Amino acid sequence: MLNQRMVNSRRRIMGLHIITSLLILVLAFRLGWLQIVEGEKYQSIANKQHTSDLVVPSKRGTIYDRNGKELAITTVKSRIWANPYLIDSPENAATQISQVLNMEKNDLLVRLAKEDTSLVSIARRVDDETVAAIKDLDIRGIWFVDDNERVYPYGNFASYILGHTTDDGLGIAGIEQSYEKELAGIAGRSIVNIDGARRQLPFNVEKTYEPIDGINLILTVDEVIQHYTEKAITSAWIEHQAERVIAIVMEVETGEILSMGIKPDYNPNTPRLPLDEATGIYWDSLTLEERMNEWYAMWRNPVFQEVYEPGSVFKVITAAAALEEGIAAPGTKFQSTGSIDVAGTTIRSWRWYNPFGEQTFSEAVRNSDNPVFVQLAQQMGKNTLYRYIDGLGVGDATGIDYPGEIGAYMYKLSQIGPVELATISFGQSISVTPIQMLVSANAVINDGYVVKPHLVKEMMSESGTMINKVEPDQIRQAISPETSKQMRDILESVVSEGSGSQAGVAGYPIGGKTGTAQKVVNGRYETGKYIASFFGFFPVDDPEIALLVIIDEPKGDKYYGGEIAAPVAGDIFREVIRYMDYKPNFHENEDIKKNQQEVIVPEIREMRLDEAYEILLENLLKGQLETKSASDHRAMIVDQFPKPGTTVPANSNVILYTSYDENLATLVVVPDLVGKTIREANTILSTQELVLKITGSGLAKEQVPEAGTLLEPGSLVNVHFGP
């Protein structure tokens, strides 16, 4: 019996040893697995638990116009963070902080009472005064870091060029998106070691990695020309109740975009607000996904991301190809009977009821006679015509430094029959983007050279060091200089004698081509819906400025390009010519001299606005109101430009400044800007809620209105800068 007990005892002891040994082996294996195989993983978790790591945002680069005017800036505010582990009383903290920030206490308490995180965001973009008030509360576990806010000082101005950013500062449209990498910079970090109670270790040194600020961009855009462009298209948009009006001004030789206006437009400071009340009501009924689609549609830039049928403006391509191929010369005679039959389809001239009869090639371009262009295309054939279409830049996207650019919609060569070839010759059955049409038409008058358009001129560090300069890019030469000169002369006659006369500025040689196209809706030409356009350039002999104006779906009886688009181009040309100080070149023709007589600017200061308009009309001048909202005819003229006694061409604009308000306390005093730099002048005026209009560069030499004048907030102040 005793031996049996000893045997059983030994067995139990042996079993216990075996079990213990197995447990030790399992534990050793598990420990080895955790330390060796998953060691890095748990080391990372431990580091996170013992480390407080905050992102320090970089300052986004500033976007300037070509003269140094700030168009997009970053203001530095503060972001408030909290560590729930360190807050002694979440209830008391939520009560005090919510009162300062005007927040819901319960919402804040939920965040401050979290037990599964050591970092929660309390508020973003808080001003210095509010930060100081929260610091005075002396609540443990609350701290502050810089938080940047993107601001567009001029609201809707140039919004489709600039684009905008998300709430987190990521470029989502326009230049902000295409140059995101350069503008964004590199964020920094603030790292602190903490103990198990989430307290900073007493002998630990905080590590701070400073952010690298973004690069500043200098655009090719001229703020003054942009202003003139937007002013002209806004008037046209309102007058013709159009769906949209577009105007682009470009330097001929360099491809630099000097202005690009689109109406209607959105405010990049509030990019998710609808353009009007009706749209807002509609958006309220949409799901979030549907609303996002509407936002992206509103942000889409039609200059680069939408196509249209250009109509007769496209005839500059067909005409240039015909001249280059030797199919026609300026004096070649054509007989027009008002229509032409193409494979059983009748194609008519706009003046089919009274045919032009015999006309030269130059006259056919000036008359914009469709049957003549059909004949030219038939003689060239589809292969030759397409070779010039591609060569002059219509086929592919232009490559402009803007996100999301698309190319033209064109038939493949194999799909082109006699009718398609005929309609393409005068700008139908082919859809292009506005920038493609401008670039290709520009090549026709630029000695045949296709230039790549661009919006950014230079990249510059915060200290003012140039990092990169964008050089002009001539892609290829598509036609000869001789053909280009012939086209310039022909297109000058379109303005001086033809349908583009309302784009003319007497004394200045301007060329161009009008266009009117029936609009395509859902794949079909829609009755009563048109797109009016005008391509123009100046001066004719050696072009420097080219522009394209497009009016989409004008309402009313007027819809021809010569009627409504050419006048917009004329308004822009007139202001740009004056701004860039071009000298007139009057012809010997006495009628032109008579029409361009010079007049003396009268004294209209201290007159009522309605009286001033009458005086100006009597003196063959026009008034251009520059104050923000003083359209009331009781408004008093406080200043004018040019000054009284100045000799100017008849029909010139006189800039008027008014000062009228029921409550004079709403007016602001114009400061003295003489001797200031462009940046200083802009900063000073911004504080007074006034807008700077720049002429020249250097230091401020003179200003209109004078210092001390009372103006409405938002009014323009013209400042001339010089060496």
The structure tokens listed for 570 are 């004329």
Q: Which two tokens stand for residue 445?
A: 């008058």
371 DSSP assignment:
H
Q: What b/e readout covers 212-229, taking b as 16+ CB neighbours within 10 angstroms?
A: ebbbbbbbbbbbbbbbbb
Q: How far is 493 from 501, CA to CA, in rounded Å?
A: 9
DSSP class of residue 471 equals P
Tokens of 341: 């039959």
CA distance 723 to 717: 20
Residue owning tokens 């903490």: 194
Identify whether the C-beta of residue 427 lies closer than 8 Å to the C-beta of residue 315. yes
**Tokens linked to 398:** 């232009």
How many of the other CB atoms lie within 10 Å of CB of 638?
21
Q: Tell me the C-alpha distance between 430 and 409, whole Å.
A: 6
Alpha helices in 306-417 (DSSP H): 315-325, 361-367, 370-391
Q: How far is CA 286 from CA 161, 167, 279, 291, in A?
A: 28, 22, 11, 6
**In a 3-state reduction of DSSP, which class is residue 192?**
strand
What is the phi/psi pair of residue 630, to 5°?
A: -80, 65
What residue type is 149 in one-letter code?
E
What does the radius of gyration of the chain's CA atoms come to, in whole angstroms? 34
Tokens of 499: 């349908």
Q: Where are the alpha helices (DSSP H) in 222-333?
A: 223-240, 277-284, 288-299, 302-305, 315-325
State how far the Cα of 633 lies from the Cα of 546, in Å rounded to an integer: 37
Alpha helices in 546-672 (DSSP H): 566-579, 590-595, 609-618
Give yes or no: 312 in active site. Answer: yes
Instruction: Give per-residue burial for 457-488: e unless 16+ CB within 10 Å, then b.
Output: bbbbeeeeeeeeebeeeebeebbeeebbebbb
Q: Which contacts (CB < 8 Å, 24+ apart) does range 700-703 have?
A: 700/673, 700/674, 700/675, 700/676, 701/674, 702/674, 703/670, 703/672, 703/673, 703/674
Q: Distance between the two ends of the chain, CA-based, in angstroms?
A: 121
Q: Of the candidates 119, 125, 93, 118, which has an alpha carbon nearest to the alpha carbon of residue 108?
A: 93
Strand-strand pairing, 637-641 and 653-658: antiparallel
- Dihedral, CA atoms, 364, 365, 368, 369, nearest 10 degrees? 30
Edge to edge, what strands does the sheet with 637-641 contain?
A: 622-625, 653-658, 637-641
| Closest among 510, 515, 479 to 393, alpha carbons compared | 479
Strand runs labelled E in 152-222:
164-165, 171-173, 188-193, 207-209, 216-219
The one catalytic residue in 58, 312, 336, 715 is 312
Burial class (CB in 10 A: 0-12, 13-18, 19+), 560: middle
User: Which residues are annotated as catalytic?
Assistant: 312
